[in-house]
Amino acid sequence: MTATKLKTLLGVCAALLLHSVLHSAVAAEEEPGCLDCHKAEADSSVHSIFGTVHGTLLGGGATSCTACHGPSEAHDRRGKKAPPDISFGPQWPSDANTRNASCQGCHDNEDLLLWTGSAHQQEDLTCNDCHSAHQPDTQTIGGEASQQLCLNCHTQVRAELHLPSRHPIVERKTACVDCHNPHGGTGEADLHQVTLNDNCFSCHQDKRGPFLWEHPPAAEDCALCHRPHGSVNEPLLNARGPALCQQCHAAAFHPSVPYGSESLSGGTSSQNILGKNCMNCHSQVHGSNHPSGARLTR
């Protein structure tokens, strides 16, 4: 068991203990009547919570309902006529902060501490946009299920996943949550790592270096040349061949002329043009460790 898990578990135990003390004081009165009205036959999707860990909260049974929906005494007495303290809808949805706070009372591990300020929090998403607290199969959403969930909203990314060059996400070798934390991040794009390069290095270690001859843009930001999800240019490049390099090397030592036939005057074309792609000669575009690799050619 990891330290965080242990911490969470201890936290939950403490919460349960505290509650059972409070609860036994009230227990003399009575258990909430939630299940008198929300009966198994009528509300079977509500009762499916008893097949999940959430159905055992605060001792289980009707008391578990109050863990997320609050004591809801008025609603408990008057049903239809008064809303529960905290609701996730459909009739009386509480605001996003109230809903999220209900879950975060128990779920405040490292990942979830990043929630405040995350892109999703700022867009007023709620925990139950992605998690169904009542249904067993959607409590842990990994792999395919989580990807579909993300793509429902991120249609732009959906399109990128089918471009000719792409990270193998539809092929299921990588997933959105391998790179992104849906609960937030400390750097850009809610990545698990602080910098974009550190994200890439977590799987492409050979690109980290250190190199004897660095190529500054690679050390600075992989996204200067690559797209993270997909691209029309192999391999995940922003632009094709010479054009990619010419964004920065327009006035290079050997003129990086456009590669059309107009530059082939009288058949005495430069060998650099015949070489076509800069990478044919400058193959070590991420950096070189060869003693004479200063020009990234070896």
Residues from 77 through 106 that contact ligand HEC (CB under 6 A): 79-80, 84, 87-93, 100, 102-106
Residue 230 binding ligand HEC, by CB under 6 A: no
- Give least dist CB 264 to ligand HEC, A: 14
- Give least dist CB 289 to ligand HEC, A: 14
Residue 253 binding ligand HEC, by CB under 6 A: yes
Q: Kindly state the number of chain residues that form the binding site for ligand HEC, as judged by CB under 6 A.
A: 138
Residue 264 binding ligand HEC, by CB under 6 A: no
In DSSP notation, the chain reads --HHHHHHHHHHHHHHHHHHHHHHHHHTT----HHHHS-TTTTHHHHGGGGSGGGGGGGSHHHHHHHHH---HHHHHHGGGS--SS--SSSSPPPHHHHHHHHHTT--SHHHHT-TTSHHHHTT--HHHH--SS-GGGSS--HHHHHHHHHHH-HHHHHHTTSSEE-STTTTSS-HHHHB-TT--SSGGGBSSSSHHHHHHTT-GGGS---SEE-HHHHH-GGGTB-SSEESBTTTBSS-HHHHHHTT-TT-SS-----SGGG-GGG---HHHHT-SHHHH---TTEE-STT-TTS--
Q: How far apart are CA 293 and CA 281, in angstroms?
A: 11
- Give least dist CB 262 to ligand HEC, A: 15
Residue 236 binding ligand HEC, by CB under 6 A: yes
Residue 155 binding ligand HEC, by CB under 6 A: no
- Give least dist CB 123 to ligand HEC, A: 4
Residue 233 binding ligand HEC, by CB under 6 A: no
Residue 163 binding ligand HEC, by CB under 6 A: no
The residue from 96, 163, 264, 281 that contacts ligand HEC (CB under 6 A) is 281
- Give least dist CB 266 to ligand HEC, A: 19
Residue 284 binding ligand HEC, by CB under 6 A: no
Residue 288 binding ligand HEC, by CB under 6 A: no
What is the footprint of ligand HEC within residues 106-145 (CB under 6 A)? 106-107, 109, 111-112, 115, 119-120, 123, 125, 127-135, 139-142
What is the footprint of ligand HEC within residues 187-206 (CB under 6 A)? 188-191, 196-197, 199-200, 202-204
